[in-house]
Structure 1
Amino acid sequence: MNSLEEELTADEKEELAEAAILAGRGYKIGSLLGKGAFGEVRTASYRRYDGRVEKLACKVIDVKKLKEDFMEKFFPRELEIVRWIDHPHVVVTHSILSRRSKVYVFMEYASNGTLLAYVKKTSNIPERRVQRWFRQLASGVHYLHGHGWAHRDLKCENVLLTESNDVKIADFGFARPVRSYTGKKEKSATYCGSRAYCAPEILRGRPYDPLVSDVWSLGVILYVMMCQLMPFRNKNPKKLLREQESRTWKFPDRVLAAFSQPARALVLSILEPVPAKRMKLNAIVDQEWMKGRDSSDDDSVR
C-alpha cells in the first residue's frame, strides 16, 4: 500500500507545504467563508509572539486564475489600497504574504457576517440602527474618497458586521485612484460592480465620475436597510436604466410609517439619476439625520 505522501496529489502536497510555511509565521488557515472566481475567503488566526491568538479572515487569491486585465490592472490596485487603509469602518489589513501562485491577504475578522445576510433574516431594521450603520458607511467611504480612491463595488455583500455591532467596508477588487500620476482627476470607463447597485451613468456606458457613482451605491444600500428589498429589480440593463431614470421606486407603506421624513428625503436626494444633481458625500455626512444620537448597543445583532 502506498504511503500517505504518495497518495496525495501535487496540489494537496503544495497546500500542506504552504500551510507549514504559514504556520511558521504564526498563521493558520481555517474554514471557508466565501468563494469567488479568483480565490476564496477563509477564517484564519495569528499567534502573536506573546502567545495570544488573534482571529482574522484571509483572502486567498490564486494568481493562476486571474485574467490578464485583472492581473495587470485591478489586482495591483487592490494590493496597493489595502496596505495603507486605517479607518474604524473599513476592513484593515493585517498582513500580505505572497507564496508561489497564491497571495494571502490577512485582515480583520467580522464575526457577524455580511449586511446582506443580516437584511435577509431581519423583517424590520429600526431607524436608529439604520441611521448608525449608514453614518458609519458614509464615514468609511468619505475616508476613501478623501485619500483619492473610489470603491466602485459598494453593496450589501461588501459590508461586514463586527462582533461589536459596527459595519466595515470590504473588498477592494475594483477600487481605483481617481487621479492620474500627474494629479489630474480621471473618469472611469470600466463597467464594474454589481448591476443592481450601479449608477445610471455606468449603465449608460459612458465615462463616469466614480466618486459620484459610489454615492448612488450608498443610496441603494440605505434603501435596502430601510426596506429589506432592492429599489430597482430589473435584470435587463436597458430596462433597469429606464427604471432608474424614471424614478419608479417607492417606499413600502410600512417604511413610510416607520421612518422619519428626513431619512426618506435623504434616499430621494441620493438616488438622483442625474449625476450633477445627486447629493454630494460631504452634504450627506452633514445632514442632521446623520448626526442623530448613537447607541452602541441599541439592540444586539441577532
Structure 2
Amino acid sequence: MPLQPGGQGVCAQLSRRVLMEMGIAMNVQHRNVIRTLEVIVEADLRCYLVQEACAVDLLSLVQGLSNGGVRMSEADVSRYFKQLVDGVQYLHGAGIAHRDLKLDNVCVTEQGVLKIVDFGCATLFRRRIQVPTGKAVAGGGHRKHKGAAGTRARAAPYTVPAKSAVQLHSQYVETLSTSVCGSDPYMAPELFSGKNYAAAMVDVWALGIIYFAIKFVQFPWAIAHASRDRGFQKFIQCPDVFFDRWFPAPVECRTAKSGSPHTDLWTAGLGKLPSPQQVRLSDYAIMRRILDVNPATRADIYTIANNSWVLAIGAETSK
C-alpha cells in the first residue's frame, strides 16, 4: 500500500472499517468490479483510492430516462443485469458481500462495461478458521488426543505450538452480519427485523430492486417495511398480484388450471400447452425467486447466474 512521505505507521491508526474497504478494493479483480490502481494514505489519515475511470453511473442514466430521455431497450436492461450478476457472483465467490448495492454504486464505462463500486459497507461473510483434525503429531511427550471433540488447539499468533500439538486444517464458515447498511429503497426486509442476517442474501434483494428500477424507471416501493410503506405491505399480502403485473409469465407458459386468471387464454383457442423447448424465456421466474421476502428461500447468486434466461443473455452478448 503506497504511502505519502511522512505516512509511515498511519495504517495502525485507521479504523477497521476503512482498512477493510481498502483491502477489498485493492484485492478484487473482475471485469464487472471497479479496479483500484492505488491507495494513498496521508499522514493526517486522509485516504484516496485511485480507480479506473467510468463515464456514468446507473442512477444518472435512470434519472435521464425519467426526465424525458429515451428508455433503455430491453436488450440493454438485460445486458446490464447480466453484468451485475457476474460481478456479484465474483464477489460472493470470494466471500465478499457488498451490502450497499444501488444505482449510484454501479457505474458504466464508455465501452458499456458495468462496474460495481464503493466497498464502504462491504463485509467478509465467509471466513477461514483453523480446526483440529482429531489427530496429534507424535513426539515431545505430549498426550495424544483421540478425537476432535476433546481437542483444543492453542491459538496463533500468540504461541507457536511444538510438533506434538494437535494438527489443524482450514475450514471455511459463513457468518451472519449484524450492522444495518444500505439505502432505503434497496434494503432487504430482513434488515429491519433487528436480527442477524445473511449479507449475501441482502445483495440479491438489492440486485432485484436495481433491475426493477432500470427496467421500469421507478422503484417498486420506498422501503421494504410493511408498517412504513403501504406498497410493500400490499406486496407481502399478495405477491402474485405484484408479479403478474410487473413480471408476468409469457403467454406460452401460462397454464389453464381451474380458477386461474389465465384460463381464458387457453379456452380462447390458443391450443395445447407447449413443450419446454417452446417456452419463451423471460425474467418472470427468477424475479419471483430474487424478490422473495424470506431470505432462507430467496435465490442465491449462483441460482440466478444459472437461470436459463440469464444464461441466454450471456449467450446473446457473447455473439
In the other structure, the counterpart of 1:156 is 103
Distance 1:166 1:289 in 2: 20
Query: Matches of 2:224 and 2:308 in 1, distance apart?
Result: 35
Partner of 1:59: none
In 2: Cα distance, 1:137 partner to 1:253 partner: 24
Out of 179, 193, 203, the position equivalent to 1:190 is 179
The match for 1:294 is 316
Q: Distance in 1 between matches of 2:212 and 2:19?
A: 33
Provide the residue aligned with 2:301 in structure 1: 281
Q: Contact conserved, 1:158 with 1:169, CA < 8 A, in 2? A: yes
Kindly tell me: are residues 244 and 153 of structure 1, through their superposed partners in 2, closer, same or farther at Cα, counting changes over 3 Å? farther
* Residue identity matched to 1:195: D
Change (3 A) 1:237 1:100: farther
* Contact 1:153–1:193 (CA under 8 A) maintained in structure 2: yes
Moved over 6 A (4+): 251-261
5+ residue gaps, structure 1, are 1-20, 25-62, 298-302
1:91 to 11, 34, 51: 34
**Shift in alpha-carbon separation, 1:254–1:143, aligned structure 2, 3 A:** closer
Matched, 1:246 2:237: yes
- Give the 3-state SS of the residue equivalent to 1:152 in structure 2: coil
Match of 1:229 among 218, 222, 244: 218
- Residues 258 and 162 of structure 1: CA distance in aligned 2, closer, same or farther (over 3 Å): farther
After TM superposition, the structure 1 = structure 2 runs for residues 38-49 of structure 1, keeping only pairs within 5 Å, are none
Hey, what does 2:25 align to over in structure 1? Answer: 82
Residues 1:108 and 2:99 aligned together: no
TM-score of the superposition, structure 2-length normalised?
0.64
How many residue pairs match? The answer is 231
1:268 aligns to 2:288 (yes or no): yes
Greater Cα offset, 165-174 or 253-262: 253-262
Distance 2:212 2:244 in 1: 11
Report deviation, 1:266.
2.2
Pair 1:203 & 2:192 matched = yes
How far apart, in 1, do the equivalents of 2:177 and 2:119 lie? 16
Q: In the TM superposition, what is the alpha-carbon distance from 1:238 to its structure 2 partner?
A: 3.7
Contact 2:81 2:211 in 1 (8 A): yes
Give matches, 1:137-156, under 5 Å.
137-156=84-103
Q: Which runs of 5+ in 2 are unaligned?
A: 130-171, 252-279
Shift of 1:236: 6.8
Q: Which residue of 2 aligns with 1:54?
A: none
Cα deviation, residue 250, structure 1: 3.3
Matched AA of 1:106: V
In structure 2, the residue matched to 1:217 is 206
| TM-score, scaled relative to structure 1 | 0.68
**Alpha-carbon shift at residue 258 of structure 1 (Å):** 11
Q: Cα RMSD (Å) of the superposition?
A: 3.2
Counterpart amino acid of residue 282 in structure 2: P
Identity %: 30
Deviation at 1:291, TM superposition (A): 2.2
SS of alignment partner, residue 296 of structure 2: helix
